[in-house]
Amino acid sequence: MGDPARIAYDTFAAAYDDFTIGLNYEPWLTKTLPRLEQWGLTGKRLLDVGCGTGKSLIPMLERGWQCSGCDISPEMVRLARGKVGDRAKLTVADMRHLPQLGSFDLVWSLNDSINYLLDRQLEPAFSAMRENMAEAGLLVFDLNTLLSYRTFFAERHVVERDGRRLVWHGEARPDQAPGSIVTARFEIEGEAAGAHVHQQCHFPEAEVREALEGAGLETLDVLGQNDDGGLHQPLRELDHVKALYIARGP
């Protein structure tokens, strides 16, 4: 039996860009990159863990960064490679067992990729990312908050693109408990092959900090994030849709 995240995204890949048509990384980058520079970010080598179809990686290529990416889904990597060609090195890999892909000034994992670790193996994933960081490198990742699970993952969302109706059926509860696993179903109406299940795990801040420490990483910043790309401190699980973590090695 394959990894649930790989199965979900191999199936989701063909519809991913259409369903996330409103996802724009530019406002987030405009606010986040200066903050990373305040924490000592230097150099322009990026590893994008969970790169998907390349939406989070392409803006950095356009800024002149040297980029590599990996994803557990071969289909997502295939689509990303079709967009970027040989401008970025792309690999199929599980974040819990990353090979040595290089020595990067910035390693990031965006758009809640880490929430798919249903086995709660945060520490192995963070350790694998740390092994790919340069000596002064930074790790940045986001996680869905309780607010996301009690709203988006508890609701039905429909996107219509190019004659297709893409439907997200959230099955979480409006009072979803901290640390729980939530489920949503995604389907392309009229296409049986397009139906699949997404499962994610909520990670409380204390659990994340403990895993970072266990992986030999120092937590520098924990911020709340909303859909406009704005960053807020402190993180408030019921006011922000994502938690953004910034960490570095010893």
Q: Grade residue 1 by pLDDT with cuts at 50, 70 and 90.
A: very low
The 10s digit of each residue's pLDDT in 197-225 is: 999 999 999 999 999 999 999 999 999 99
pTM attached to this predicted model? 0.97
Provide, rounded to the nearest whole percent, the portion of the chain with pLDDT above 90. 93
The mean pLDDT of 74-94, rounded to a whole number, is: 98
pLDDT given at position 89: 98
The mean pLDDT of 40-58, rounded to a whole number, is: 97
Residue 146 has pLDDT above 50, yes or no: yes
The mean pLDDT of 152-158, rounded to a whole number, is: 97
The mean pLDDT of 171-178, rounded to a whole number, is: 98
Alpha carbons 43 and 186: distance in angstroms, whole number: 39
pLDDT given at position 119: 96
For the domain made up of 20-143+204-248, give the CATH fold.
Rossmann fold (3.40.50)
Alpha carbons 242 and 203: distance in angstroms, whole number: 11
**How do the domains of the chain map onto residue ranges?**
20-143+204-248
The mean pLDDT of 119-136, rounded to a whole number, is: 97
Are 246 and 221 spatial neighbours (Cβ–Cβ below 8 Å)? yes
Query: Which residue type, as a one-letter code, is found at position 59?
Result: P
Alpha carbons 23 and 126: distance in angstroms, whole number: 25
pLDDT given at position 190: 81
